Amino acid sequence: MAFNVYHDPRGVTIGQTPIAGVESIIVSVRRQEFRAAGDGEMHESVARFTAGRTCGTITLLDPAGAAALAGRTGTLSFTWTDANPGAPGDKTVTIAGASIGGYDATVARGAASTVTLPFIAESAPVVASSP
């Protein structure tokens, strides 16, 4: 799972704290680049991907409630329904060691207010079929 957007997720929690009003969740998993070249080399003699990095955002409709979530840590967990017609039912995603790092609120005229919570995590997401 290199990049996924989960729309209409339910049962969203971080640690034991429920997160209400979630509109979407973006999860990104990337490996860090390590590159090096020696003196006089025209191209890099070392080019590798190293440790993975998991991060993402959670979008809510409640700017006031988001402030209480800033700084929360724990396992991020949520359930969603796979839109693929051949997929079997609901999926549960868990991401251990997640940490919410603040929030960005958008209050717009004539539109719904939204807030984005950025997170980082110590592990890759685990996706499992729900019973």
pLDDT tens figures, 5-42: 666 789 999 999 999 989 889 999 888 888 888 877 77
Rounded Cα–Cα distance for residues 58 and 85 (Å) = 25
Rounded Cα–Cα distance for residues 76 and 2 (Å) = 17
> What is the CATH architecture of 3-129?
Beta Barrel (2.40)
Is it the case that residue 4 has pLDDT exceeding 70?
A: no
Please state whether beta strands 104-106 and 90-100 pair in parallel, antiparallel, or not at all (unpaired).
unpaired
pLDDT band at 1 (very low <50, low <70, confident <90, very high): very low
pLDDT tens figures, 61-91: 888 888 889 899 999 999 987 666 666 678 8
Secondary structure percentages of the chain, helix, strand, coil, to 5: 5, 60, 35
pLDDT score at 31:
84
Rounded Cα–Cα distance for residues 41 and 57 (Å) = 40
pLDDT score at 117:
95
- Give the domain ranges of the chain: 3-129
Q: How many helices (H) and strands (E) does the chain have?
A: 1, 10
